[in-house]
């Protein structure tokens, strides 16, 4: 029931004309836009030049590389890269006759000065990957010129050169302080880096910092009880920041120390208790980012239920039966209910996949909008914001959501919605559509 949902055709725009393409024709369209995307700055005075909605569309590319930034020295940082060989095309059309894949990774690092991007470093690496030499992953790293005390934004274009497939990512980089999360490298017991800060039960990991002189590591543990985001038209926002730790631990630190925690919640690691910045590692449950248990099915329904109905669902002893009855009641037929369940919970899954930081992705502002409205049809970026654009059916107007980049001590990937009372009518229309048994989709 919870297979990935490929809802949208990815869109790119060149010369202000939208180019739509389906998953099955991604390669041919990418060949048309690849020169423009890869060979010039992505920025204009007001934002990015192109439609970037493909970043949050799972069907836009067949390759899904992972990245992590680690500040290894005062004047340089490493971009850690993970490729998945099962997503790459291998063939024998080469002088050696071996099964090879060719992948290029183009990196542009922009220093953010007075909220404006200034190109600081640019480099392209090309990898020839032998199929017989790789397992489930291919790891690499690219050094970049980045100075302590500055903030950057990295643009990464990864290309499967044999297939012509393309993946685009933007990565926020904070090198202002010495204790923010990118000053830490997280690896398993064999030194293989982890590429996100969500750990499941039983996982072992090491926390490394380029300054090896620290002797005490302070661990602040918070239960996963952050509040839900407020509706898009609310006049205020409840921040997803943990106020008071439920427990505090102090351990003797060495870079070889192996850690593992089994309680759900957030673990915030600091070397200096006078500095709020540190590394956050979350445990959101064994199934995360998937949605499987009855409780996991109920909680994301908060966005499309009344307060009374939601509280009733939370109090039901048999939450699986209560959830099934909820969908059957609004959909009226079993087939329709299955379709709504498939779409809704795949949006929850991809919200977890794309937007999780110190809270599960479905509880973030971007996750909330993604679940109710679906992936954006158009997206623009500035160094400090993302704007998601939806096109209204039968109308020439659009609905826009702007998320301001708002990093905090617990996460560098925190974006806060600029709420507006003007969102009131279409938010209520979207929620009412779900309650009527209609999947809310826009042109």
Structural domain including 395 reads 294-435
How many residues appear in the chain?
443
Do 5 and 150 lie in one domain? The reply is yes
What pLDDT, on the 0 to 100 scale, is given for residue 368?
A: 96
53 Cβ contact partners less than 8 Å away, ≥ 6 residues apart: 8, 10, 11, 375, 376, 377, 378, 379, 388, 389
Pick from 175, 195, 225: which residue ends a domain?
175
CATH of the domain at 160: 2.60.40.10
CA nearest 9: which of 361, 342, 374? Answer: 374
* Residue 205 located in a structural domain: no
* Residue 256 located in a structural domain: no
What pLDDT, on the 0 to 100 scale, is given for residue 274?
A: 87
What pLDDT, on the 0 to 100 scale, is given for residue 115?
A: 86
What pLDDT, on the 0 to 100 scale, is given for residue 364?
A: 95
What pLDDT, on the 0 to 100 scale, is given for residue 238?
A: 62
What pLDDT, on the 0 to 100 scale, is given for residue 200?
A: 83
- Cα distance between residue 319 and residue 312, in whole Å: 10
What residues form DSSP beta bridges with 385?
Answer: 382, 404
Sign of CA dihedral 265, 270, 275, 280: negative
What pLDDT, on the 0 to 100 scale, is given for residue 6?
A: 31
Give the chain's residues under pLDDT 70: 1-49, 237-241, 394-396, 442-443
Pick from 175, 197, 220: which residue ends a domain?
175
Helix (H) or strand (E) holding 426: helix 424-435
122 Cβ contact partners less than 8 Å away, ≥ 6 residues apart: 106, 107, 108, 109
Do 24 and 159 lie in one domain? The reply is yes
* Residue 316 located in a structural domain: yes
Give SS3 for 193. strand
* Residue 233 located in a structural domain: no
Give SS3 for 401. strand
Give SS3 for 214. coil
- How many angstroms separate the Cα of 165 from the Cα of each of 37, 40, 64, 89? 13, 19, 10, 10
* Residue 167 located in a structural domain: yes
* Residue 379 located in a structural domain: yes
Do 23 and 164 lie in one domain? The reply is yes
Question: What's the domain count of the chain?
Answer: 2
Decide the pairing of beta strands 216-222 and 265-270.
antiparallel
Do 15 and 163 lie in one domain? The reply is yes
Pick from 143, 159, 175: which residue ends a domain?
175
* Residue 100 located in a structural domain: yes
* Residue 134 located in a structural domain: yes
């Amino acid at each position: 029931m919870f297979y990935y949902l490929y809802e949208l055709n990815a869109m790119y725009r060149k010369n202000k004309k939208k180019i739509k393409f389906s998953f099955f024709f991604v390669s041919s369209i990418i060949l048309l836009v690849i020169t423009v995307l890869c060979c010039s700055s992505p920025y204009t005075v007001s934002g990015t030049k192109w439609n970037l909605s493909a970043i949050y569309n799972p069907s836009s590319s067949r390759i899904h590389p992972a990245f992590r930034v680690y500040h290894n020295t005062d004047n340089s940082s490493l971009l850690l890269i993970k490729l998945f060989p099962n997503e790459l095309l291998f063939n024998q059309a080469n002088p050696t006759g071996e099964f090879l894949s060719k992948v290029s990774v183009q990196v542009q690092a922009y220093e953010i000065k007075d909220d404006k991007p200034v190109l600081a470093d640019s480099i392209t690496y090309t990898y020839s990957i032998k199929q017989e030499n790789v397992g489930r992953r291919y790891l690499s790293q690219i050094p970049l010129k980045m100075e302590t005390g500055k903030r950057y934004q990295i643009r990464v274009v990864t290309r499967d050169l044999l297939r012509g497939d393309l993946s685009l990512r933007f990565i926020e980089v904070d090198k202002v302080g010495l204790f923010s999360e990118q000053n830490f490298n997280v690896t398993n017991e064999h030194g293989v880096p982890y590429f996100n800060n969500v750990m499941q039960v039983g996982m072992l990991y090491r926390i490394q910092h380029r300054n090896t002189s620290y002797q005490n590591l302070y661990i602040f543990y918070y239960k996963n009880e952050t509040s839900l985001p407020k509706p898009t038209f609310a006049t205020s926002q409840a921040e997803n920041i943990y106020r008071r730790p439920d427990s505090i631990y102090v351990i003797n630190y060495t870079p070889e120390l192996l850690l593992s925690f089994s309680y759900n919640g957030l673990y915030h690691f600091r070397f200096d208790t006078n500095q709020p910045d540190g590394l956050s590692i979350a445990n959101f449950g064994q199934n995360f980012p998937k949605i499987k248990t009855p409780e996991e099915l109920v909680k994301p329904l908060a966005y499309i239920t009344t307060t009374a109905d939601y509280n009733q669902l939370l109090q039901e002893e048999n939450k699986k039966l209560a959830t099934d009855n909820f969908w059957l009641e609004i959909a009226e037929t079993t087939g329709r209910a299955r379709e709504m369940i498939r779409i809704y919970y795949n949006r929850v899954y991809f919200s977890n996949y794309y937007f999780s930081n110190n809270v599960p992705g479905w509880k973030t502002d971007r996750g909330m909008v993604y679940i109710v409205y679906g992936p954006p049809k158009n997206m623009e970026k500035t160094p400090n914001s993302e704007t998601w654009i939806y096109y209204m059916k039968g109308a020439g107007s659009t609905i826009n959501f702007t998320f301001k980049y708002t990093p905090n001590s617990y996460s560098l990937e925190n974006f806060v919605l600029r709420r507006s009372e003007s969102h009131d009518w279409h938010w209520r229309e979207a929620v009412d559509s779900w309650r009527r048994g209609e999947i809310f989709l826009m042109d």
